[in-house]
Every structure is written in structure tokens, then in C-alpha cells.
């Protein structure tokens, strides 16, 4: 992975350079929505056909593309939340709300949480909203054995990418109990989304039957959710990412140093709607995903910042703690080697 922390590029202001890329087009937006939603619907129906005819091989073959298309729909919802998909706010909001009935992520509530993530990403003093929980080495060693065990379980891949997505989309996005002090907005957003989901899913069940619907849509959502959490994870959880506290933190350094350029193969870039160009997205979240590749073309110096290949990204799974001394993410195994006997992790 390439990371140029401390290079002159990190000190430059990119707002002026990137302003001409922030113009979404209505026709382009309609086209992007059509080439995502229509294939998703057709793939879903093809899986239904395979289910009724007993073509297990076809069902399994179509599952990954269907999940990939659901991820792409979520990325459209994501851009709508940033006001970056359609020219007007109303168009962005209603497209985002409509897609949320499929992705199960309440649009308005998620949009506000995600805005908080952009405003605080990499800030040690403002963790906890819209990010992956990350402890420093000092914080981890100060925990009780039970606390360390809980954190280890939370960071375990089976929990992070298996149970975690089910919890987030199945429970946390349905009942926002963690936002009791945030007023009625989270509840209005989640409850209206739940009502819309009930209507859409109820109609689908009436048309195709309960078990056919469940055995088609549930696996698509589960696989798509796990893949989506992985994408969100790898965008900020890599060895030479960025964390800082107090006045030493700033949003541009957090974008350039703390967000990866996940350099995926072309087909995966399409399914993930260029979300791998995450450092540019954090520099200017109003750039539509279909313009992010233009930024890399015009500013090739950005291609070397935080670059992470698919193979390299797999090594990041073991990283779990921020070492403030070496300024990098480290694994539990590394902490076991360097911790004093009295501080040995459980």
C-alpha cells in the first residue's frame, strides 16, 4: 500500500481544484439509476424463476450479481444523501428514500449519521457516530479482561462482517435506541421507512409468496450487507490510516491520509460505484460517484495516496488498535509482543 503522509500534497487546499466536478446531471442520474435498478429487478426475477424451477445452480450464480447491484443502489442512496446524485435536493431525497426500502437503511437518519462521520473521521475525540469502533492501544490495555474480550469479539471477522451487518440493518436501523437524545427525527425516519418496507415487502409476498420472497430477498440483503460493511471498513481501517486529537486534527488530512484509495478491478468499481476512491470522496463529498474517476485522471498524484489493492486489503482484517506512538493500526498479536507483563492483553 502506498501512503504519502506528510507530503506537500497534504497541505494543499483542494476545494478550488475540485469545484468543477461537483455538478450532478439529471439525465446522467436517471441513466445511472436505470442501469442499476432494472438489472436488479431482472436478476431478482431470474432468481425467482430459478427457485420455482429448481435450478439451484442458477440461483447461486445470480446471488452475487444481485447483491452487487443492491450495493450499487445503496451507493446511489449514499450520493443522494450528499446531494451529489441529482441537481436538486428534492430529487436526491426522494430517490434516496425510495431506495432505502430495498437497502433497509433509513435514508434521513442514515444521512445525518453519515454527515457526522465525514465531519469527524479520524478524530480521536469524536468517535462513535457512523464509524467502526476503534480503540487506541492505551485505551485497550486499560480495559478489564471482560472489556478486552468484548472488544476482541467485536473486531472478529465473523462478528464484524457476519453478525454485525445483520444487527445493523435488522435491528439498529429498525429501532434507533442509541439516538434517544437526538429528538424525534431518527424515529420518524426509521418508522416511516419501516412502514414503507412493510408495504413493499407485503405486496411482494402477496405476489410471489412468503417463502419464495424470503429465500430470494433475504440472502441478497445478507450478502450485500456483509459486502457493504467490508467496503465501509476498508475505507478507513488500514495500517497507515489517520487518527489525531484536538487541534492536530483537520478534515483535509483526515481525507487524504485516513481514507483509502481502494484500487479495485473495473467490474468491482462499477458495482461499488467508485466508492473505493474514498479519499477524493472525503475531500469533496458533493462529487457524484461517476465523476470520481475523472478526478483521478486529471490529478494522477491522488492515485498514490492510501492506495490499497484487493489482495493488500485482506491483511487489514487483523488490524484492530491505533498505536499513537507509531501512528498506525496494529494487531492484537503485536500488542501481546510489546506489552509489559502487567499489561498483557487477555
Tens of pLDDT, residue by residue over 79-110, are 999 999 999 999 999 999 999 999 999 999 99
- Per this entry, what is the length of the chain? 346
Do 123 and 255 form a contact (C-beta atoms < 8 A)? no
- State how beta strands 319-323 and 328-331 pair: antiparallel
Distance, in Å, from the CA atom of 302 to the CA atom of 255, rounded to the nearest integer, reads 11
Distance, in Å, from the CA atom of 288 to the CA atom of 296, rounded to the nearest integer, reads 13
CA 139 distance to own-chain centroid? 25
Distance, in Å, from the CA atom of 218 to the CA atom of 51, rounded to the nearest integer, reads 14
Q: Is 316 exposed, middle or buried (0-12, 13-18, 19+ CB in 10 A)?
A: buried
Distance, in Å, from the CA atom of 61 to the CA atom of 64, rounded to the nearest integer, reads 7
pLDDT, tens digit (0-9, with 9 covering 90-100), for 137-173: 999 999 999 999 999 999 999 999 999 898 888 888 8
3-state secondary structure of 236: coil
Q: What pTM does this model have?
A: 0.90
CA 105 distance to own-chain centroid? 12
Reported as type and span, the H/E element at residue 117 is helix 107-120
Reported as type and span, the H/E element at residue 49 is helix 26-53
Compute how many other C-beta atoms are within 10 angstroms of the C-beta atom of residue 48: 20
Do 339 and 264 form a contact (C-beta atoms < 8 A)? no
Regions of the chain with pLDDT less than 70? 1-12, 178, 180-182, 337-346
Amino acid at each position: 500500500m502506498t501512503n504519502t503522509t506528510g507530503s506537500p500534497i497534504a497541505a494543499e487546499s483542494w476545494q478550488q481544484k475540485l469545484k468543477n466536478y461537483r455538478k450532478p446531471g439529471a439525465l446522467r442520474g436517471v441513466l445511472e439509476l436505470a442501469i442499476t435498478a432494472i438489472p436488479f429487478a431482472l436478476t431478482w426475477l431470474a432468481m425467482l424463476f430459478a427457485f420455482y424451477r429448481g435450478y439451484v445452480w442458477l440461483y447461486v450464480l445470480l446471488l452475487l450479481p444481485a447483491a452487487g447491484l443492491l450495493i450499487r443502489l445503496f451507493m446511489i442512496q449514499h450520493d443522494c444523501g450528499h446531494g451529489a446524485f441529482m441537481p436538486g435536493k428534492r430529487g436526491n431525497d426522494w430517490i434516496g428514500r425510495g431506495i432505502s426500502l430495498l437497502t433497509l437503511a433509513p435514508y434521513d437518519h442514515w444521512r445525518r449519521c453519515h454527515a457526522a462521520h465525514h465531519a469527524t473521521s479520524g478524530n480521536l475525540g469524536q468517535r462513535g457516530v457512523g464509524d467502526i469502533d476503534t480503540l487506541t492501544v492505551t485505551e485497550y490495555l486499560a480495559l478489564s479482561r471482560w472489556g478486552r474480550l468484548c472488544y476482541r469479539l467485536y473486531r472478529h471477522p465473523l462478528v464484524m462482517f457476519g453478525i454485525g451487518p445483520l444487527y445493523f440493518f435488522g435491528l439498529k436501523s429498525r429501532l434507533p435506541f442509541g439516538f434517544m437524545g437526538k429528538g424525534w427525527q431518527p424515529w420518524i425516519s426509521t418508522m416511516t421507512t419501516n412502514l414503507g418496507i412493510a408495504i413493499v415487502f407485503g405486496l411482494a409476498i402477496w405476489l410471489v409468496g412468503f417463502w419464495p420472497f424470503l429465500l430470494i430477498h433475504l440472502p441478497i440483503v445478507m450478502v450485500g450487507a456483509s459486502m457493504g460493511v467490508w467496503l465501509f471498513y476498508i475505507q478507513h481501517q488500514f495500517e497507515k490510516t489517520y487518527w489525531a486529537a484536538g487541534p492536530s486534527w483537520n478534515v483535509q488530512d483526515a481525507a487524504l491520509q485516513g481514507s483509502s484509495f481502494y484500487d479495485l478491478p473495473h467490474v468491482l468499481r462499477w458495482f461499488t460505484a467508485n466508492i473505493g476512491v474514498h479519499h477524493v470522496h472525503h475531500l469533496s463529498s458533493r462529487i457524484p460517484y461517476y465523476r470520481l474517476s475523472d478526478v483521478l485522471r486529471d490529478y494522477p498524484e491522488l492515485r498514490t495516496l492510501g492506495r490499497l489493492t484487493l489482495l493488500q486489503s485482506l491483511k487489514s482484517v487483523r488490524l484492530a488498535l491505533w498505536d499513537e506512538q507509531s501512528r498506525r493500526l496494529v494487531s492484537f498479536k503485536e500488542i501481546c509482543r510489546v506489552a509489559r507483563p502487567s499489561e498483557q492483553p487477555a
